[in-house]
Chains A and B, each alone.
Chain A
């Protein structure tokens, strides 16, 4: 008997499709992330949040920079942009200002958003640009093999800090809140339900909203820092995460071996966004 190589519709698989699959680009899976990585869970929370937000998916645009998290946009069946390293935020601001009807979400990593792109995030927060930024903080440059990042905790081992990191790390939530963000939250990827609820809030918020999410990165961070398996890092999250809503994010530093303080730190009332101000001056200039 000869077996035809012709493709047939795989109805069994079709039937097994997950209800959220309509937001994913099936033909791009499996994803590039390592086993034990938390980005899959974060992406899962994200697509659930998009669905739950009720926003017309036609109007949702996701912009990423470069890095492990930067690949997230590429699995979404939405308008997606994978830009240059560090420049997702100004690219996103261009999209939003040029078409204020769009819901623009930046989904990228800590190195991309806070090292090479650090200047852009503080200015986006200062301007109250009407975008949501989701930052996955794995404490390291994963895609390039585990080098030191500005988020690497003091004393941690990386491939470019072979004697232990000698630099203090950025407290991302504190930095962004100080620069003017109106919504700031931090979760680990283990807080899946809370993370998802927070994503819905952030996406629906008018103005600059920010979520830091901490996924396990066993391959490039954990391996050198006693968390060689993803599950071990998740266990650490389970035992050491404390929820503190509304605290000053300045008090929520992330240090090696310390408790991880998570929660919704900032949730301010809506105030006019950059888009609102631009619309106002357009109206003014038009009447003259």
Chain B
């Protein structure tokens, strides 16, 4: 970088910063201009950086009275037309669940950064965990879908922050960045590209008449264009089951139409949304599946296995939800066994088992939080399942 990047825009250049700081910069580069949050370890550095950076780019930072207010306020900001976000962890994400449902029901784009720590309850506030994976998907009541992403480096934390906003805007959905304490407190090199190289997606705006506007009439792609408050469309938004006008309709028929579409707009686009990384999977006989910080240990384990002559490979999940069921179903046909490594008591392993339909043995390499796997621990599982 010959020219110093302006603090009033994308901080193009080379940086040596933490995952949390990279996420803040990634969200700003994505066009986020509203942050509502409540301090919680290990995510607080995101709020701290946003409190300094947002006013520099003309954005709004507000520290709310609790996490429930934080998520409610970013929903409001999104409906005023701003890209908005919050960042939290364990107890905070639990408090946000009801309004994640409101976000899904009202198709409100926003991003939640969940810097996972080990739970349940207050658990290990300063130490890593990956125990919120199922909660991200099922935490709010009722049937809904959302998108969750998991980075494994500081660079990817930045890149996926942009992707998270792009997906939220494109599919009009809450997006959760399911990252973890290790990634977010780790300091690594980050390269922020020039603004022109960053692909930005913005929500579709309505083009028709403002009179009698149908707030929730989907296009052929199942996604309704989104008018902001104050634009003259008189939007009608409710968490009740509603029709295309947005009006409450308390019938099983309206429920079928609405909830089916809300789920399908994510599920039927799974392949388009899907991001994964495959490492040495071509001839692999033992497949390791992992994500986030754990995927780094898993890669080490695959390398160690290869040195020992075991044909191991790694599938790293970058998109966690919607789950890449079809991909794993295909990969399972080529391998003898699967090892799933995650810092919880076995969450994604259940999805993997369902995807493989018990065609191959699927074993769990588990840690309950507080520390990451060593490659040797995962290697031990690989050796356990390899065909003699």
Contact = CB atoms under 8 A, between A and B. Distances in A.
B60 A98 contact: yes
Interface in B58-117: 58-60, 62, 64-66, 68-70, 72-82, 84, 98-99, 102
Given A61-B230, A93-B62, A80 B76 contact: no
A282 B53 CA distance: 10
Interface in B224-244: 228-240
B279 interface: no
Contact of A79 (B64, B68, B98, B229): B229
B236 A95 contact: no
B8 interface: yes
A97 B232 contact: no
Contacts of B138: none
Contacts of A63: 76
B80 A102 contact: yes
Contacts of B34: 94, 97-98
B55 interface: yes
Contact of B82 (A87, A98, A119): A98
A123 B66 CA distance: 10
Contact of A82 (B59, B68, B232, B237): B237
B29 to A, nearest CB: 18
A6 interface: no
A95 B72 contact: no
Interface string A67-109: 0000000100111111110110111111111110110000000
A288 B56 contact: yes
A144 B80 CA distance: 31
B39 to A, nearest CB: 15
A96 B76 CA distance: 8
Interface string B234-268: 11111110000101100000000000000000000
A8 interface: no
Contact of B239 (A78, A79, A80, A84): A84
A194 B235 CA distance: 30
B341 to A, nearest CB: 37
B346 interface: no
Interface string B8-41: 1000000000000000000000000110100000
A81 B237 contact: yes
Nearest to A76: B234
A59 interface: yes
A28 interface: yes
Given A99-B228, A281-B55, A84 B36 contact: no
B77 A28 contact: no
Given A58-B230, A81-B79, A123-B65, A94 B73 contact: yes
Chain B, interface size category, equals: 35 or more
Given A84-B239, A98-B77, A282-B58, A90 B234 contact: no
A87 B76 CA distance: 10
B99 A278 contact: no
Given A98-B76, A98-B77, A59 B230 contact: yes
A286 B80 contact: no
Nearest to A102: B230
Contacts of A286: 8, 55-56, 58
B99 A74 contact: no
Contacts of B235: 79-80
Interface residues of A, number: 41
A119 B70 CA distance: 12
Contact of B74 (A83, A89, A94): A94
A120 interface: yes
A87 B247 contact: no
Contact of B84 (A92, A98, A119, A278): A98
Interface string A28-39: 100000000000
A58 B77 CA distance: 17
Interface string B43-64: 0000000001001101110101
Contacts of B77: 94-95, 97-98
A285 B98 contact: no
B248 A74 contact: yes
B254 to A, nearest CB: 15
Interface in B293-310: none
Nearest to B66: A119
A284 interface: yes
A100 to B, nearest CB: 9
A98 B229 CA distance: 10
Given A63-B76, A91-B76, A84 B99 contact: yes
A191 B247 CA distance: 32
A101 B230 contact: yes
A102 B69 CA distance: 20
B236 A84 contact: no
Contacts of B231: 58
A182 to B, nearest CB: 19
A94 B76 contact: yes
A120 B64 CA distance: 9
Contacts of B237: 80-82
Contacts of B80: 94-96, 98-99, 102
A119 B65 contact: yes
A199 to B, nearest CB: 20
25 contacts: A27-B245, A27-B247, A58-B230, A79-B234, A80-B235, A80-B236, A81-B76, A84-B72, A90-B70, A93-B76, A94-B72, A94-B79, A98-B78, A98-B80, A99-B82, A119-B69, A120-B69, A123-B64, A281-B55, A282-B55, A282-B60, A284-B55, A286-B8, A288-B7, A288-B56
Q: What are the nearest 7 A-B pairs in CB distance?
A: A94-B76, A98-B80, A285-B55, A94-B73, A98-B77, A82-B238, A90-B69
Interface of A: 25, 27-28, 58-59, 61, 63, 74, 77-84, 86-87, 89-99, 101-102, 119-120, 123, 278, 281-282, 284-286, 288
Given A97-B73, A102-B230, 15 more contacts: A61-B229, A74-B247, A79-B230, A80-B235, A82-B237, A83-B239, A86-B68, A90-B76, A91-B75, A95-B76, A95-B77, A95-B80, A98-B33, A99-B81, A123-B65
